[in-house]
Structure 1
């Protein structure tokens, strides 16, 4: 498998002959530098420990903090402020630039800020002073939690592709926000949070449409890895039984007659056994973080559930290198989610 983006690329193969052949062919016409170990790709720093990869973007976060002059701390992505768009305003290029950087950050290594960034992007063409306050609050949160690292590991006991789906009316506008994230081998590998393209009159209709979006994304991912990994059909997890009944045709005429035809693809995918759908309790949903603002407790809970932050080992190594007298055993007693609240942090 070969992935290339402009001047960066990654080659994944288990055959040494193929690897050597790929090394020789392009170098006849192009000047390429090959590294046996992957350390960075498109601005993402990568560290491998055993069967796990740890991803972070410290340079992008530093650039974002400097651009917005972030100096405060925050414990949740969005404050308790209603965001509204004003009709007349001059486009602020700095606001656009900050949103662009945060979108890449959210899509690459920080899924827990995906909803907040999309929420701020809604008024990107009419950014006002209050919008800047909310944006700086999000940057403060990113800076406060800059030690968080995305962990990509392998759990061979969880081979099924799990797709958590959700839709929620965000309280602004008439369209629902739908989201999903995909777990493969026990690790989150893809996530999305978007405003739906059409209006749903019922919650079950919005979640039914969200199933279609999530199923198409999951099948696209399966098509990309099927030559490498034998993958069973994705399992979609949703907390709305009415939407699942529409998929199974038991109440289709009553509740789905106003749904656009394009979303009925989910019925065909279920009948052809390309995907399966299971119900999940509302308390078991982890996709909520992508559809609405969460408080500090829920934000940290979902972050731990998604295994997004695994910094205790790296934090211990970093502090022990800078401060040899500091006891590493004390650092290791702290959980990854408590790294930013480390009691002696301000004394260094």
Structure 2
């Protein structure tokens, strides 16, 4: 550390100030703030969720309150409006609290309320990405990616501005929070952030053109049943550079999509069955976590297991067969 300008002691030029409390911007400041906030909430009867460390739950005889924390922004909900108001009034004695009423904007995600439910949208954020990239008036594209072509043997020149590519790719990752339709395209783009080429930037431009034509897209949350069901799929050896497969799965709570993932598998699968089974394994792990979280949110799942849909006959046959042999030992572990 060093003293800021104007605070240096001429007699002790190497001395620094001792901090009596953490300052905003220091490495330990976020941890200290989180500890102070959660310590106060724990004195009010809240406990940490076992599934999500940023979720605190108050569960009494007739009252359930939930607080979801992201740094210094948090959502409060529950079944007792009076208890929520009492909690916020108590927090005002400890913190400089600004109450914004019903949620309308949270971390750049716009929440539109209607009689049928909620609609989550990042239209403002998507418009800002297009403006920063200079694609605000570009021609829309019908799909986020072009049909895959065979691997080119020619040397593709590197992109001239890697920092621009990396900045846009990172922004698209955050946009995919409410846009599952761009999850796969964003995953492909982010795999080339270290050394992007002109071809990679063309793929990014294609995605930006698609976003420009679908600015109003978002994630609807409607009233319905509360049963979990999941879908799993894999694209075997789809990456021509390393022949690794792509796993993808999505999970619904009733009619609402609540979780989805597109990710390259860590190792090479020697068959489409193996690739599909690994994708099933990851989807099952996600479902187990969601079931634990649903139980903490008082959304019990009456069925013993959630249905996971898969379109690979061999993977389904292995999943049903309790007898494994040497060639399927790795699958047995999954």
Please give the TM-score of this superposition, normalised by the length of structure 1: 0.69
Alignment partner of 1:125: what SS? coil
Pairwise CA distance, 1:81: 5.7
In the TM superposition, what whole-angstrom CA distance separates every residue of 1:173-228 from its partner, at most 9, and x where no partner exists? 32110111111121111111000112211111111111111111111112112132
In the TM superposition, what whole-angstrom CA distance separates every residue of 1:119-160 from its partner, at most 9, and x where no partner exists? 11111111112221221111011011112232111223xx32
Who is 1:315 aligned against? none
**Residue from 206, 219, 225 that aligns with 2:275:** 206
1:1-348 aligned at under 5 Å gives the runs 1-70=66-135, 71-80=138-147, 82=149, 92-106=162-176, 108-156=177-225, 159-169=226-236, 170-172=238-240, 173-227=242-296, 228-232=298-302, 233-250=305-322, 252-253=324-325, 255-259=327-331, 261=333, 263=334
Rg: which structure is higher? 2
1:52 and 1:243 mapped to 2: Cα distance? 37
2:165 and 2:272 mapped to 1: Cα distance? 33
Structure 1 unaligned spans of 5+: 264-348
In the TM superposition, what whole-angstrom CA distance separates every residue of 1:263-294 from its partner, at most 9, and x where no partner exists? 2xxxxxxxxxxxxxxxxxxxxxxxxxxxxxxx
Compare 232-241 and 2-11 and name the one that shifted more: 232-241
Please give the TM-score of this superposition, normalised by the length of structure 2: 0.72
Taking a change above 3 Å as real, the CA distance of residues 80 and 27 of structure 1, as seen in their structure-2 partners, is same
1:87 and 1:178 mapped to 2: Cα distance? 29
2:67 and 2:97 mapped to 1: Cα distance? 15
Taking a change above 3 Å as real, the CA distance of residues 179 and 80 of structure 1, as seen in their structure-2 partners, is closer
2:70 and 2:127 mapped to 1: Cα distance? 23
Verify the 8 A CA contact 2:228 2:252 in the aligned structure 1.
yes
2:108 and 2:198 mapped to 1: Cα distance? 31
Higher RCO (C-alpha under 8 Å, 6+ residues apart):
1
Pairwise CA distance, 1:29: 1.6
2:132 and 2:100 mapped to 1: Cα distance? 32
Taking a change above 3 Å as real, the CA distance of residues 26 and 250 of structure 1, as seen in their structure-2 partners, is same
Q: Which has the higher helix share?
A: 1
Compare 134-143 and 32-41 and name the one that shifted more: 32-41
Pairwise CA distance, 1:88: 7.0
Structure 2 unaligned spans of 5+: 1-65
Verify the 8 A CA contact 2:144 2:185 in the aligned structure 1.
yes
2:318 and 2:148 mapped to 1: Cα distance? 36
In the TM superposition, what whole-angstrom CA distance separates every residue of 1:284-336 from its partner, at most 9, and x where no partner exists? xxxxxxxxxxxxxxxxxxxxxxxxxxxxxxxxxxxxxxxxxxxxxxxxxxxxx
1:80 and 1:247 mapped to 2: Cα distance? 32
Alignment partner of 1:12: what SS? strand
